[in-house]
A and B are shown apart, each in its own frame.
Chain A
């Protein structure tokens, strides 16, 4: 090992029982910066991934909609299924109704589901809290946990549904009769927006409620793994009637996704400042070290050390602090990620904010998504900044004239 690497390591990690205070402080600075850079973006990525997944689940990969109600949805479904990359397409109808139980009203969003689609039923079945998907038929509904709570509804009980057609009947002085529906099941997805105010019914029931006849509001399509929904939507748009259009969940939610992406970039930039701060702490530690070691530098020069070797000795200390600090930062970051639930529970209990988390973000747990490219970027940044922090002290050391170094007090 060249002498300047050996001395650099010994300056940082001296032999004996002496605690390397400056080294410990510098490494701690980098480690904390790296840990924060790992934890915060991973949590943000986790939130974003969860939001994306919820958006995609609710929207489907693609939706094909028209200017008016789509009447020939079976033929259209066949056309869509013929497109490369599409594995499933199901018609849907949706809208808002008034639901009433024991004089308590609520205004949920109603989704009409094609019960001929096993996948649609399986998706619903996977979120059922109470009741059975087998009891789901044309005069029954599956309500979200929020609706069940608001109306004090239980499985097997009957509620009334009022739709817009009844209002039209009122204007014609006719007596509107609401539809009676039995609650077949109660579901919860974990996504607040859906769980708060959704009712599922069969597509046929929805068609009756809204007077759609055989028509639907649109067709949801799902793409095969590896296919880009945006590209498939573009291809499909080239083949659809001019009054129909396909849009991916990403396109439909582009503003929300754009905000999330912008937030992510800004957050990384702001957290990057932490690393800059730790770089200054490294630089000041190494500058102090150069001052403390001035005579030692003079002795090395008198023994034949060149300016570049002296510079390397101090610059390498910055590199070593960066590498060790990044390693500790990774260990600390992943350890804290491992106990994130315990930490968030403790914080939520202390501040009483558990409810607001599910209200604002749609889920009560702390999702995490650690991306390997982020980790690579963080490691490179930490080591590069620490190295740069070592350059100024190294140049100071290299500029010292041997005789002046030896004379220094």
Chain B
């Protein structure tokens, strides 16, 4: 059996609220294999985003271990983690976070440029824009795009970095149902074609049900659903 591309073992995270420590994550085990798609659901405030932040190395855990491609990165410093993320892990956010001053194509290319990938990022970003159905909107500024189009640009940007894993934090949260379905279809098919592992945090049952494995986060613990 192959070792997982991404794994969290016994992850714990506390937050201080006044004089009290609140234990948000109480020892979570989760793993993702190459090309696998898992979904995580849970109530608002249950710790879904915190779990994604721990898995992506944006936040440090209070306990447990995070493995990227078999390497324990729990003790890495911020800059080392940033370098390690290049070409390994991309994130897709609910609010897209595109750079407003540059056009859609340039936004997509940022994924590869920041990752410093040794590839022709111009042609790769153009290809990705065509694959997400925005071949006609290459030079449109983000402000002129619809919410669904912006999220597709954000997905193309995540893909452009050539990652092994994509962590998507409620990517359809700001979209209507039809557009949200199209975005998830696109994300799922692109990850499947490129053998990219996908972790999807969502409130939408239908989207969660598309995953190979479905998890529910409750009371600081992650439960696998049948």
Contacts and interface: CB of A to CB of B under 8 A. Distances in A.
Given A304-B161, A401-B78, A402-B78, A296 B110 contact: no
> How many B residues are at the interface, by size bracket?
20 to 34
B97 to A, nearest CB: 4
A11 B115 CA distance: 20
A14 B100 contact: yes
A303 B111 contact: yes
Contacts of A6: 106, 113
B210 interface: no
Interface stretch (B29-37, B51-59, B174-182, B192-200): B51-59
Nearest to B88: A304
B143 to A, nearest CB: 8
> How many A residues are at the interface, by size bracket?
20 to 34
Contact of B82 (A3, A15, A16, A305): A305
B78 to A, nearest CB: 7
A370 interface: no
B132 interface: no
A271 interface: no
Main secondary structure of the interface of A (DSSP, over half): helix
Nearest to A405: B58
B86 interface: yes
Interface string A11-41: 1001110100000000000000000000000
Most buried by A among B59, B83, B87, B143: B59
A306 interface: yes
A305 B114 contact: yes
B103 interface: yes
Interface string B61-81: 000000000000000001100
Contacts of B99: 7, 10, 296
Interface in B101-118: 101-103, 106, 110-111, 113-116
Given A304-B83, A304-B85, A306-B79, 14 more contacts: A6-B106, A10-B106, A14-B100, A14-B102, A15-B102, A296-B99, A298-B97, A301-B58, A301-B78, A301-B82, A302-B91, A307-B78, A307-B79, A308-B79
Interface of A: 2-3, 6-7, 10-11, 14-16, 18, 295-296, 298-309, 401-403, 406
Interface of B: 53, 56, 58-59, 78-79, 82-83, 85-87, 90-91, 93, 95, 97, 99-103, 106, 110-111, 113-116, 141, 143, 161
> Which 6 residue pairs across A and B have the least CB separation, nearest first?
A14-B101, A304-B86, A3-B113, A10-B101, A403-B58, A299-B97
17 contacts: A3-B110, A14-B102, A15-B102, A15-B103, A296-B99, A299-B93, A300-B114, A301-B78, A302-B58, A303-B161, A304-B87, A304-B114, A304-B116, A305-B114, A306-B82, A402-B58, A403-B59
